[in-house]
Structure formats: structure tokens, C-alpha cells
Amino acid sequence: MDISKLINNKVSDHIIHGIDLLFFAIVISIKVIVYATQISPDYLYIKVFYPIVASILILVSFAALFKGKKRMKFLYIMDIIVSIILVADIMYYRYFKDILTVSEIGNARLLGGVSSSVGSLFNIKDILYFVDIIVLSFFIRKFNKKTPSYTPTLLKRFLTFIFIFIIGFCIDVKSVYAVSQEQPTLLSSMSNRIYLTKLIGNLNFHAIDAYNFVSTKAKNLEPLSDERKTEITNFLKSNNQYTTTDLKGSMEGKNVIMIQVEALQQFVINQKINGQEITPNLNRWLGKSLYFDNYFYQVAGGTTADAEFMSNNSLYPSISGAAYYNYSGDTLSSLAKELKDKNYYTAALHGNTEGFWNRNVMYRTESFDKFYGKSSLNSNEIVGLGISDRSFLNQSIEKLKSFKQPYYSFIITLSSHYPYDDVKHYGNFNVGEYEGTLMGNYLKAIHYTDEQLGTFLDKLDNDGITKNSVIVLYGDHFAIPKTNADQLFKFEGTTNTNDLNWINYQKVPLMIHFPDDKNSGVNHTYSGQMDLYPTLANLLNLPKNYMLGQDMLNTSANNKKVIFRDGSFTDGKTYYCSSTNTYYDIQTGKTIQETPELKNKKVEYSNELTYSDDILNHNLLKTLENK
């Protein structure tokens, strides 16, 4: 063999050797990018190319570990898997305007409509994702018959793997790190899947979703011991025993209209800016309702969804991620479930895409008969993330009127959502010196939402619906994040910015309106979102077997407590801040030493959090309900 032929052969061998990897990388990149343009017209922006390519490089690096035929097979199988994922995502997107997750595949039975109409979601063009797979199958058959002219050594293959993997991994880590800096809880809570996919690409999204799913499952593999089960059952039994029976059963058979208001915080209630009330309508309605003014939000990584979860189940949010994802396959004794057992019709209404916060799955788990989300409502006016509160609440009234009575309607507003920058829709509320700031925009947003809520509540009144209904309204969580604490402290004129002062502003109003404005007044009980369901269960005569919160109307003064997910707590006299292990006397505002009594409380309360985790991680209600 002549020498030049030999050299040429070596070079072409190298090129041929790498061509399958290159081909795979290009084809998959094209598919992921085409997919990206399909799921959202505004999807593509240059930053997302990096994580998309990085995730594909990681796949390629693993392929480089194999030799000839095996490598080809590996790439071919990867191509099939990635194409199936992309098509499944597109089909899911057509229905839910969101991205499929492992938990949803696991809970496919909960998706109802979508699983029965899979065929109608498939578009003939989707076959294009599989064209290369069909064509390649012929090549692969041919290739398999040939003996490869060049086989790299294990060392060479390993070095190629390391080289490609490190490049892909570093780019990926950079993108994922940027997300974790911008929105620290987004990667574990996966609240906004479309947005996350826009930042890190489809393949990375699925890798992180799978990791979250597996790590939660792995944590729960160990079964609960019988002693632990007995301990939890005993606690549940003792938790909702009361000596008084205030207002017990007084609302039995009435419609329940529960409104969760986005980012409604207590500090705007009965407050003025530039001489104008910020929330004139809510102030008026709170005046003719039972108003709890020491009511805390207790949300964790699941923010809005955690507020929903606690208010409907009286169980604590997940320690990481969101209960609406982690526990969407659990058996729950939710408010909707218990009301359904009493022949109520139950519906949830929210003007955003159905998959946001996994609501489409979770509302079924929580036994709602129907979920009216964005696709079943009219999107005639959009503010921020979804349908404007004006349009949404108008549509909600019409829905309520069509429901069979008695009903439970759970209504979640949206327009006053952080960062409150859709200001052109909020009207001309003059916020004076706060103009152009986050606080100023929030005041405008909440003033707008207040106006819509006022119209909504007044309509309910004029239509006589209030006569036959109990109306519950509360804020879901903070409006001003801790990173902007200075704006909140400035608004409140506070110079002392310690943890006690911060928590003091982390209250949300809770209003319970009774027919004919009965039972109106201000209740100063220290309480929180965990306590809403037991309180309503008392009013509606529902069982209280699996609740970790307390009935606010019947808990004695020395048993009151609000436990936060991080182990902090308050009982109205003391506030314990777990992150600094500091106790504050609420009255004096001073720090105090830990006493044996406080230490006991600290241990007892953190135990209660673990009861909730065990109940949910081990789906304990399923076992207990079947007993």
C-alpha cells in the first residue's frame, strides 16, 4: 500500500469516525430548535442556544464511549427517545399550553380529557420529527454488515468522552446557575415550566424534572414504622378537639365562594397613599365581615400553589419544591372532597394556563369537579401572566350563576402578580413618591385588583348570592420580596429592619363574610393559612380528621400557634426565627433567651412539620381512609 493512500485513509477514517456524532448533534439541535419555535413564537432568543447545544453535547459525549456499531445504536436510540419526548411535549402543549413532566406521566389518569384525546392532538407534521429515524434505519442496517476500518482504543474513547462532556457540562452549569440566581426556587418548584424551558432548553428541563421526581421518590422509599403511624394518628385525633363550639355548623349547606388574591398583603389594608385609600373596596367589605388581622401566609417554595394547598387541605407545604407537584398523586381529604361528600358541586377558576403549578392534575386530586382555566375561559383581556382580573371575575360570576347549588367555587386572581409591570392596565392611581418603583407599581396593581374585587362582591350582593353563601377572601403571599425589603420598611416608616419587623409585615388579610353581614368584626387571633380549612370545617360541619391547623374560632388562647415551613413560629407572644435561632418578645420587640418551655415548643412544632411530611410522603391518608 502506498504511503499517501495510507495517510488519506487515516484522515478519512477520523472524519468518518466522528461523522455520526456530528450528524447526531446537528439533527437533534435542529429538532430541539424547531420544537422551541413551535411551542412559543417568542421562545427563541440567543441565550437558549447555549444550554440546548450543551445538553446535546452531553448526550454525544456518552456516545463517544462506545465503539463503531454500538455507538451507532446508542445514537439511534437517543434520537428516537429525544424525538418521542419532543412530540409528546408538543402534543401536551397543544392541550395545556405547558410542558409535560414525569409526575404528570405518572398521574396520567388524573389528566382526564387529554389522555382520551391524544389522537386529536397529533398533527401530521409531527411525523417530520421521525423522518431521519426512518431513513437512518436503512443506513444502519448496511453499516452493521460492514466491519469498521478503524476502532479507537478505550483510552481514546474515554478522553473524547471527557473532552466533550466537560464542554457541555460547563455551559449547562453556567445557564442553570444563572437561573438559580435569578429565581432561586424555580428549579425545584418548577412553577413556570414554559419559562424555565425558555431559559435552559427542553432537554435540560426534562433532566432536572426527572432528577426532582426521582430524588423525592427515593426519599420516601423507607416505609413508615407502625409506631410512627400510631404517633401521627394520635396527633391527628388530638389536634382538632375543642371545648367550645362557636358558630359550629352555622354555614352548613351554604355555597362557599373562596377567593385567593394574588400578592394581597395586609399592609395595604386601611392604608392611604396621597390621601386616597389603596384598597377602598376591600376595606368596605372587611368592615361587614369577620376580619382576621393577624393572619400569616405560611407558603414555601410553591408560593401561590402552597397557599392553595394549605387552605384546601390544612397540611404543610413540601419542604422542597411544591406540594402541587410532589403530592399530586396522593389521597387527600380536601375541602372540595368533603363538600362533594355533602353533595356540593365543586369548581376551581383561574385565568392562567391549566398546567401552571400542575393545577390541572392537582385539582383532580383535590376532588374538584371542574377546573375553568385559560383554555375554557375567554382571554379577551390579558394582564401580566393571564386573563385580567376584570374579565376573569366577570366571567367567574357568570359561571357561579350556572352552577348547581350548593357549590364550592375556588377563585384565584392573577393580575396583581409580581413584578407588577403591566402598569398601563392598572389605571391612573396616583402613588406619588413611589411612582416608578416596585412598591409604587404594586400599589397600582393591588388598587386595580381591589376595584375588580369590589365590583365582583357588589354584584354577588346585588344578585342575592351573598344571602346564601359564605365568602372567604385572603391573600396568597408576600407582594414585596425580601430582596426589596427596604421598600417595604420605607413605606412603613420603620428604621428597625430586624427579623421580627419583617415577619410583622408578612400578614395577609383574611375575610369571612356571612349572609346578611352577620358576625362582622375584627378578630386578632394569631393564625395562618393552615387554620382556614379547620375553621371552615367547623362552620360547614365537615369532618376534621386529617388537619394540622386549628379552628381559629375555637382554639383556646394558650394553644394558638403559627408554624412556618422553615421551623420559625409565633404564638402571638413570642416569635422564633429559625434561621438565626433567635426568640423575640412581640410586645417589647426585644430578643429573649430560650426557656425550657420555648425549647419544648420549638421541638414540638418542628415535629408537627415532620408529621405533615410523613403523611404526604407516604400517602398516609390513603391507608387511613381505607381503614
Annotated binding site: 262, 304, 417, 476-477
- What is the DSSP secondary structure assignment for residue 620, as one 8-state letter? H
Q: What is the DSSP letter of 347?
A: E
Task: Please give the Cα distance from 615 to 592 (Å, whole number).
Answer: 34
Instruction: Give the one residue of 83, 107, 160, 191 binding ligand GP9; rule: CB under 6 A.
Output: 191
**Nearest distance from C-beta of residue 464 to Mn ion, angstroms:** 31
Q: Nearer to Mn ion by C-beta: 171 or 438?
A: 438
**Smallest distance, ligand GP9 to C-beta of residue 191, A:** 6
Name residues contacting ligand GP9, limited to 450-469 (CB under 6 A): none
Q: Which is nearer to ligand GP9, 385 or 471 (CB)?
A: 385
Residue with Cβ nearer ligand GP9 (364 or 618):
364
Cα–Cα distance between 427 and 204 in angstroms, integer? 40
308 binds, among ligand GP9, Mn ion, none (CB under 5 to 8 A by kind): none
- β-pairing, 255-261 vs 469-475, is parallel
DSSP class per residue in 215-236: HHHHHT-SPPPHHHHHHHHHHH
Q: Using the rule CB under 6 A, give the single segment among 100-108, 198-206, 349-357, 618-626 that binds ligand GP9.
A: 349-357
| 333 versus 416: smaller Cβ distance to Mn ion | 416
| Binding residues among 406-435 for ligand GP9 as defined by CB under 6 A | 414, 417
Binding mask 359-388 for ligand GP9 (x = CB under 6 A): --------------------------x---
List of residues 6+ apart from 28 with CB closer than 8 A:
56, 59, 78, 79, 82
565 part of the interface to ligand GP9, by CB under 6 A: no
Residues that bind Mn ion (CB under 5 A): 262, 304, 476
Is the Cβ of residue 302 or residue 515 nearer to Mn ion in the bound state? Answer: 302
Binding partner of residue 132 among Mn ion, ligand GP9, none, CB cut-off 5 to 8 Å per kind? none
Distance CA 315, CA 332 (A): 10
Tell me which stretch binds ligand GP9 (CB under 6 A): 62-70, 325-333, 352-360, 483-491.
352-360
In the window 486-545, what residues touch ligand GP9 (CB under 6 A)? Answer: none
Q: How far is CA 95 from the centre of its chain?
A: 19
The annotated binding site for substrate is made up of: 417
103 binds, among ligand GP9, Mn ion, none (CB under 5 to 8 A by kind): none
Query: What residues form the annotated binding site for Mn(2+)?
Result: 262, 304, 476-477
- E strands, 248-391, where? 255-261, 272-273, 276-277, 290-292, 295-296, 345-350, 370-372, 382-383, 386-387
Residues 160, 216, 279, 304: which is the catalytic one? 304
Contact flag: residue 97 with ligand GP9 (CB under 6 A): no
Q: Which residues pair with 259 in a beta bridge?
A: 411, 473
Q: Cβ distance 358 to 328 under 8 Å?
A: yes
Among 175, 352, 527, 550, binds ligand GP9 (CB under 6 A): 352
For residues 540 and 249, is the Cβ–Cβ distance under 8 A?
A: yes
Candidate residues 303, 314, 358, 555; the one interacting with ligand GP9 per rule CB under 6 A: 303
d(CA 505, CA 497): 11
Active site residue 304: yes
Phi/psi of residue 213, each to 5°?
-65, -50
Task: Give the cell for residue 189.
Answer: 418548584
Which of the listed partners (ligand GP9, Mn ion, none) does 176 bind, with a CB threshold of 5 to 8 Å by partner kind? none
Nearest-approach distance from CB 424 to ligand GP9, in angstroms: 20
CB 196 within 8 Å of CB 75: no
Q: Find the residue with minimal CB distance to ligand GP9.
A: 303
The least distance separating ligand GP9 from the CB of residue 18, rounded to whole angstroms, comes to 45
State in angstroms the smallest separation of the CB of 293 from ligand GP9. 23
| Residue number with CB closer to ligand GP9 (164 or 414) | 414
| Residue 191 contact, options ligand GP9, Mn ion, none, Cβ 5-8 Å cut-off depending on partner type | ligand GP9
Q: Is there a contact between 289 and 467 (Cβ–Cβ < 8 Å)?
A: no
Q: Which is nearer to ligand GP9, 333 or 395 (CB)?
A: 395
The residues with which 569 forms a beta bridge, in sequence order, are 563, 576
What is the DSSP track for 548-613? SS--TTT--GGG--EE-TTS-EE-SSEEEETTTTEEEETTT--EE---HHHHHHHHHHHHHHHHHH
Q: 168 or 373, CB closer to ligand GP9?
A: 373
> Strand 521-523 vs strand 510-513: parallel, antiparallel, or unpaired?
unpaired
Element (H, E) at 394: helix 389-402
Binds ligand GP9 by CB under 6 A, chosen from 345, 356, 420, 448: 356
Considering the complex, what minimum distance in angstroms separates the CB of residue 350 from Mn ion? 11
Nearest to 67 by CA among 11, 135, 21: 21
Grid cell 479507537 is found at 152
Give the shortest CB-409-to-ligand GP9 separation in angstroms.
16
Q: Site size for ligand GP9, by CB under 6 A?
A: 9
Whole-angstrom distance, CA of residue 419 vs CA of residue 403: 34
User: What does the binding site for ligand GP9 look like in residue numbers (CB under 6 A)?
Assistant: 191, 303-304, 352, 356-357, 385, 414, 417
Would you name the residues annotated as active-site residues?
304
